[in-house]
């Protein structure tokens, strides 16, 4: 009887492992419209400091938007920005801090843009209010 229970536990654990994802359960995107831009991340860094309003932390990214082959846009966003990973057709929630150089991203942003911002490539538009990011892996 003990061996049957052991076998049942092993089969159950193996079945669960085969059906689950290391990213967790599938998620629903915050925004379902088409992205404002699709690009490859050329550079990414976390910026922290003290401003007149107090401590801050943000993620700065340089993007390559086709047909360009060099960084031609920037993003400034918080680690709390809604972020997702799309892999094998499924979408999973993630942390915006998980974005890496070389990732292909889809970005939704509002109308706010800065030109010549220190966080972006020189003279390029830098989008400062990111609404959602999807990483394609």
CATH assignment of the domain containing 107: 2.40.50
Range of the domain at 112: 24-136
- The answer to whether residue 5 sits within a structural domain is no
Residue at 17 is within a domain: no
Whether 37 is in a domain gets the answer yes
pTM of the predicted structure, to 2 decimals: 0.77
- Is 31 inside any structural domain? yes
Exposure string of 92-107, with b = 16+ CB inside 10 Å and e = fewer, is bbbebbebeeebebbb
Contact by Cβ (8 Å): 129, 112: yes
Closest alpha carbon to 109 in 76, 69, 63: 76
For residue 12, is it within any domain? no
State the pLDDT confidence band at 30, using cuts at 50, 70 and 90: confident
Distance between CA 136 and CA 133 in Å, rounded? 10
pLDDT above 70 for 126: yes
pLDDT digit string (tens) for 50-95? 989 999 899 999 999 999 999 999 999 998 999 999 998 899 999 9
Domains: count for the chain: 1
**Within a domain: 13:** no
19 inside domain: no
pLDDT of residue 24: 63
Q: What are phi and psi of 8, to 5 degrees?
A: -65, -40
Residue 40 near residue 104 (C-beta atoms within 8 A): yes
- 14 found inside a domain: no
CB 33 within 8 A of CB 108: yes
């Amino acid at each position: 009887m003990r061996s049957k229970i052991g076998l049942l536990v092993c089969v159950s654990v193996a079945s669960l492992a085969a059906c689950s994802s290391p990213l967790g359960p599938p998620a629903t995107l915050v925004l379902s419209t088409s992205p404002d831009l699709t690009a490859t991340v050329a550079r990414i860094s976390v910026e922290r400091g003290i401003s007149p309003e107090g401590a801050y932390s943000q993620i700065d990214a340089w993007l390559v938007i086709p047909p360009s082959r060099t960084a031609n846009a920037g993003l400034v966003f918080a680690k709390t920005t809604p972020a997702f990973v799309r892999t094998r057709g499924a979408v999973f929630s993630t942390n915006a801090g998980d974005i890496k150089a070389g990732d292909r991203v889809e970005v939704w942003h509002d109308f706010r843009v800065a030109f010549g911002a220190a966080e972006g490539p020189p003279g390029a538009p830098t989008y400062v209010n990111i609404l959602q990011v999807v990483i394609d892996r």
